Amino acid sequence: MTVRTPGTPASKIERTPPSTPGRTRAREDKIVVTVRLRPLNRREQFSKDQVAWDCVDHHRIVCKPQVPEHATQPTSFAFDKVFGPACLTETVYDEGVKNVVLSALMGINATVFAYGQTSSGKTYTMRGITEKAVNDIYNHIMDTPERDFTIKISGLEIYNENVRDLLNSESGRSLKLLDDPEKGTVVEKLVEETANDDKHLRYLISICEAQRQVGETALNDKSSRSHQIIRLTIQSTLRENSDCVRSFLATLNFVDLAGSERAAQTHADGTRLREGCHINLSLMTLTTVIRKLSVGKRSGHIPYRDSKLTRILQHSLGGNARTAIICTLSPALSHLEQSRNTLLFATRAKEVTNNAQVNIVVSDKQLVKHLQKELARLEAELRTPDQSREKDLKIQQMEMEIEQLKLQRDLAQSQVDELNKKFQEDHHISNQVESPQLSVTKCLSYTGSLSSLKRDKIRNTTLRQSMRQSSTAPFTLMHEIHKLEHLQAQLGEEANRALEVLQKEVACHRLGNQNAAETIANLQAEIRQMCAVRSAPKEVEVGSMVSVNKSISANLKHEITRLHSQGSNIANLEQQLENVQRSIDKLVMSLPNNYQQLNSKASKLRKEHRRKKLPPLASINAVNRQNFIRSPCSPLSTPHQVLESDIENRALDDEDIVSSENLPPESEKEETPSKNEEGDNISSRDNNNSGYRRSSSVNMKKMQKMFQNAAEENVRSIRTYVTELKERVAKLQYQKQLLVCQVLELEANEANGHNIENEGLSEQEGSQVSGHITFQEQQQQIIELWDLCFVSVIHRTQFYLLFKGDPADQIYMEVELRRLTWLQQHLAEVGNASPAHVGDERTISLSSSIKALKREREFLAKRLGSRLTLEERDALYMKWDVPVVGKQKRLQFVSKLWTEPHNPKHVKESAEIVAKLVGFCEGGNISREMFELNFVLPSDKRPWLMDWSPITNLLNL
């Protein structure tokens, strides 16, 4: 172990100017020099020695005898403090060196010297000073609980210019002084002990003193023959809970020098003489250093290196330390010269200034600690803005969603309003269109009250959801019904118009087509029936429908009853529509036949006419044909023309359509031949109308075509209506079926003893069932995502075993789902690309997740050998289809675990096996806290997850 000089810091030391008790600001400190004059000792008293010195006050000492030969030398000396023979060591400490000593507790190096001739009381004084200093140091420690103090002690002596370790004297060897470029002079291998307390420190000090070289001299029976340095290293740090990582570090030297006398004075010879030479070498160097420092102010060369004493104490002499020198004096006149020399040394010493600074140390350990803390703080700071940004983004998204929902709500509301309005209009129109005696029977009605449905507590969630989905069905249904009614009315009108046209046509032809008449009659009857159906009394008023619309819980059963009862009406209506369609088709299809028949009959008549000389058919039918052209269905028709044609038709009603008197004679036809497009010769008996008849004959085919087109157009139009109606009826039918299914399910539940009304299932029970189903759905999603994201199977097992569907699990399920969703997205984005670092060195990518999972399976494979017996393993191999013979059976088996996310049995068994391998059991050593709800690093409760699970990487975000 090495001990460092005050200038050789243990670690990084910052030096700042001292601000210690009694000091305000950095300034150059002069060495505190005090003089202690001891009483005459027994030897001196016995030799009747005289007291040569007088302490005239606390600062001055005066030489009493006026020796003529020394008249030029100063006789009065002033120092920081002068202590007379009566002064106690305590006073010397308190008034002379205490401040210097206590500087060491504030990080300032301090040194207390005792300088004087042999037997002047150096050791006597330094022992007392050290004792007092130890007391003060530990008192200060007691009074400063906010700091941690460490006191270390080392002791050395410089004897004959050899450095000896006083705490390891057994080695007996001289220690080397090393020059460290950073630490300065270092005593190699000097033992440094840490004092546990003040007693321990005193004990160690006593060891040092005991090991010191002493010898008998003429002046001192126990003369210290060496320079002794007891060094305390005091380090103090504020306690852990503080953020401050700086600590004070200072050395406190107690230096008891050997006697400064000249060898001759001690009558030394032999060993003592040799000792004296060496002692004097160090002291001479010390004196030189002090002298040079006192005059030259470090301007010239300071011979610190000339002695080991000055090398070791270099920083205490004009350097980074506060220094106090106690010069001890013998009052005896016989020692006057030595005392004067001591005082001269002291006088020079008090001119020496030091530059003491506070040594603030940042040790490597503390520095690392501090940097770690700082790093953590900075990371937290860095994370915080991200989190806040993330939150802001989420808030923005949510706000946007809210806005969208508001828009949707407003849109829905406006649609509802519009539909209501439309319904009212439809209702109004239908009332206007319908004849008073006709009414439309409502196919469905929704008179169920809100309260009635509230009584129905649907236990089954599917039913609940279906009901929720169908809660808007009543209104939709109603709306569809009303639209249907409206279309029916339009269809009726169209059909009426078409029929009127056809009636007129048929009437105009006067051919009395029986089929057509029957068809028309049928059609009219059907239309009347339709109108009768349509104009049936409405059972739901607008107001009530609105209320139903607002209510999401119409009486389902009542609704279905209505559906059942009204279903036939829909079918009837549909049937009637089809009848109409058929009738129209039939009628239209019959028209060409009519003409063919008409032409055929005309041909027959013409033959008879030729035989009976009757007018031709064409001329007879010309007016009717004209009427036909001007029918409402014809593009050429006008209301006036229709009216004319009506009149003409009525005029012709009484006439025989095929009267032989009206037929033109064949001869006339030949006289005024008129050839139609088919080559038929048509003539008229009326010459005035001959041109018109000729024109009619010519355009007959064209008009016939036009009529056919118009009729077909009408039919197409009606057919389109019918198709639409059919679609709507199909839609209604589907909705009806849906409701019927729901009711059947409800009735089945009731039949199974789940009579909702009677049992009065509570909302809570309903929500429990709902919650359970939600849990199952979420669990399945999570299991699938685990598989997709290659999540740790241990994590899956823990989660699977821990969360079983308890209501309190819901939040964990949500969080896990969200994390996994994010992870899946992230993995999809990142793929096998070089992943970004997350937090520490862990990263997330597809490949890293797969690798982690592979490592985990390898780990589990190893566990398989240690956790399961051979029999158990073989049984599992059999069960899981792992070849009993072959390599890597364990890995094969483990690789099969958690690989079938859609197989609940497989999942359950996998979880049980992994739990057994890892060593946790259900409800045992896993807890919810392991799955924290926030995105912070989880605690170290599951070290096996830290390296493998991508989900833990995810948590670390």
Ligand X SMILES: Nc1ncnc2c1ncn2[C@@H]1O[C@H](COP(=O)(O)OP(=O)(O)OP(=O)(O)O)[C@@H](O)[C@H]1O
Burial class (CB in 10 A: 0-12, 13-18, 19+), 683: buried
What does the alpha-carbon distance between residue 237 and residue 384 come to, in Å, rounded to a whole number?
31
Amino acid, res. 620? I
The dihedrals phi and psi of 468, each to the nearest 5 degrees, come to -60, -45
Q: How far is the CB of 197 from ligand X (least distance, A)?
A: 27
Q: How far is the CB of 124 from ligand X (least distance, A)?
A: 3
What does the alpha-carbon distance between residue 729 and residue 724 come to, in Å, rounded to a whole number?
8
Q: How far is the CB of 50 from ligand X (least distance, A)?
A: 18
What does the alpha-carbon distance between residue 622 and residue 700 come to, in Å, rounded to a whole number?
9
Which residue from 455, 453, 465 is spatially nearest to 773, judged by alpha carbons?
Answer: 465
- Of 211, 224, 265, 466, the one binding ligand X (CB under 6 A) is 224
What does the alpha-carbon distance between residue 14 and residue 248 come to, in Å, rounded to a whole number?
9
- Of 120, 519, 949, 952, the one binding ligand X (CB under 6 A) is 120
- Stretch binding ligand X (CB under 6 A), from 122-130, 460-468, 744-752, 785-793: 122-130
Residue nearer to ligand X on the CB measure, 121 or 766: 121
Q: Which residue is nearest to ligand X (CB)?
A: 121
The dihedrals phi and psi of 784, each to the nearest 5 degrees, come to -65, -40
Residue nearer to ligand X on the CB measure, 223 or 778: 223
- Of 118, 323, 624, 952, the one binding ligand X (CB under 6 A) is 118
- Stretch binding ligand X (CB under 6 A), from 115-123, 289-297, 446-454, 562-570: 115-123
What does the alpha-carbon distance between residue 229 and residue 223 come to, in Å, rounded to a whole number?
16
Residue nearer to ligand X on the CB measure, 4 or 227: 227
Tokens linked to 161: 């210019």
Q: How far is the CB of 334 from ligand X (least distance, A)?
A: 15
164 in helix, strand or coil? strand
Residue nearer to ligand X on the CB measure, 331 or 766: 331
Residue nearer to ligand X on the CB measure, 259 or 276: 259
Which residue from 113, 82, 122 is spatially nearest to 220, judged by alpha carbons?
Answer: 122
Q: Which residues are annotated as a binding site?
A: 116-123
Q: Are 795 and 949 in contact (CB under 8 A)?
A: yes
Tokens linked to 356: 């003491």
What does the alpha-carbon distance between residue 106 and residue 650 come to, in Å, rounded to a whole number?
135
* 39 sits near ligand X (criterion: CB under 6 A): yes
- Stretch binding ligand X (CB under 6 A), from 121-129, 184-192, 469-477, 702-710: 121-129
* 124 sits near ligand X (criterion: CB under 6 A): yes
* 223 sits near ligand X (criterion: CB under 6 A): yes
Residue nearer to ligand X on the CB measure, 328 or 535: 328
Q: Are 897 and 793 in contact (CB under 8 A)?
A: yes
Q: How far is the CB of 289 from ligand X (least distance, A)?
A: 20
Q: Which residues are annotated as a binding site for ATP?
A: 116-123
Task: Tell me, rounded to whole angstroms, the distance of Cα 129 from its chain centroid.
Answer: 64
H or E stretch at 603: helix 556-612
Amino acid, res. 6? P
Contacts of 527 (CB under 8 A, 6+ apart): 492, 495, 496, 499, 580
Q: How far is the CB of 351 from ligand X (least distance, A)?
A: 24
Crossing angle (nearest 10°) for helices 763-789 and 793-802: 170
* 231 sits near ligand X (criterion: CB under 6 A): no
* 111 sits near ligand X (criterion: CB under 6 A): no
Please report where in the chains the tokens 């109603």 appear, as a residue: 478
Q: What is the 3-state secondary structure (H, E, C) of 759-779?
A: HCCCHHHHHHHHHHHHHHHHH
- Of 119, 228, 347, 952, the one binding ligand X (CB under 6 A) is 119
* 38 sits near ligand X (criterion: CB under 6 A): yes
Q: How far is the CB of 265 from ligand X (least distance, A)?
A: 12
- Of 111, 123, 357, 797, the one binding ligand X (CB under 6 A) is 123
* 331 sits near ligand X (criterion: CB under 6 A): no
Residue nearer to ligand X on the CB measure, 43 or 862: 43
Tokens linked to 368: 């690392």
Parallel, antiparallel or unpaired: strands 32-37 and 322-329? parallel
- Stretch binding ligand X (CB under 6 A), from 117-125, 285-293, 319-327, 893-901: 117-125
* 91 sits near ligand X (criterion: CB under 6 A): no
Residue nearer to ligand X on the CB measure, 18 or 331: 331
What does the alpha-carbon distance between residue 857 and residue 869 come to, in Å, rounded to a whole number?
19
- Of 15, 122, 509, 795, the one binding ligand X (CB under 6 A) is 122
Residue nearer to ligand X on the CB measure, 41 or 641: 41
* 220 sits near ligand X (criterion: CB under 6 A): yes
Tokens linked to 127: 């022992």
Residue nearer to ligand X on the CB measure, 116 or 615: 116
Residue nearer to ligand X on the CB measure, 9 or 121: 121
H or E stretch at 358: strand 358-362
- Stretch binding ligand X (CB under 6 A), from 38-46, 54-62, 518-526, 667-675: 38-46
* 259 sits near ligand X (criterion: CB under 6 A): yes
* 276 sits near ligand X (criterion: CB under 6 A): no
Q: Which of residues 722-751 bind ligand X (CB under 6 A)?
A: none
Q: How far is the CB of 366 from ligand X (least distance, A)?
A: 41
Residue nearer to ligand X on the CB measure, 341 or 689: 341
What does the alpha-carbon distance between residue 109 and residue 252 come to, in Å, rounded to a whole number?
6
Q: How far is the CB of 44 from ligand X (least distance, A)?
A: 10
E strand residue ranges, 42-182: 53-55, 60-63, 76-78, 81-83, 110-116, 147-159, 162-165, 177-180
Tokens linked to 209: 């003193």
- Of 121, 474, 615, 664, the one binding ligand X (CB under 6 A) is 121
* 226 sits near ligand X (criterion: CB under 6 A): no
Q: Which of residues 398-437 bind ligand X (CB under 6 A)?
A: none
193, HSE (Cβ side, Cα atoms, 13 Å): 20
Site size with ligand X, rule: CB under 6 A: 17
* 282 sits near ligand X (criterion: CB under 6 A): no
- Stretch binding ligand X (CB under 6 A), from 37-45, 280-288, 335-343, 344-352: 37-45
Residue nearer to ligand X on the CB measure, 121 or 492: 121
The dihedrals phi and psi of 630, each to the nearest 5 degrees, come to -90, 20
- Stretch binding ligand X (CB under 6 A), from 113-121, 152-160, 661-669, 683-691: 113-121
H or E stretch at 760: none
- Of 11, 41, 641, 956, the one binding ligand X (CB under 6 A) is 41
- Stretch binding ligand X (CB under 6 A), from 34-42, 337-345, 456-464, 888-896: 34-42
Q: How far is the CB of 198 from ligand X (least distance, A)?
A: 23
- Stretch binding ligand X (CB under 6 A), from 94-102, 119-127, 801-809, 816-824: 119-127
Q: Which of residues 868-897 bind ligand X (CB under 6 A)?
A: none
Contacts of 540 (CB under 8 A, 6+ apart): 442, 445, 446, 447, 478, 548
Q: What is the 3-state secondary structure (H, E, C) of 443-489?
A: CCCCCCCHHHHHHCCCCCHHHHHHHHHHCCHHHHHHHHHHHHHHHHH
Residue nearer to ligand X on the CB measure, 39 or 839: 39
Please report where in the chains the tokens 């709902």 appear, as a residue: 770
Amino acid, res. 714? N
As a 3-state breakdown, the chain gives helix, strand, coil percent values, each rounded to 5, of: 60, 10, 30
Residue nearer to ligand X on the CB measure, 88 or 398: 88
Instruction: Summarize as ranges the residues that interact with ligand X (CB under 6 A).
Output: 38-39, 41, 116, 118-124, 220, 223-224, 258-259, 328
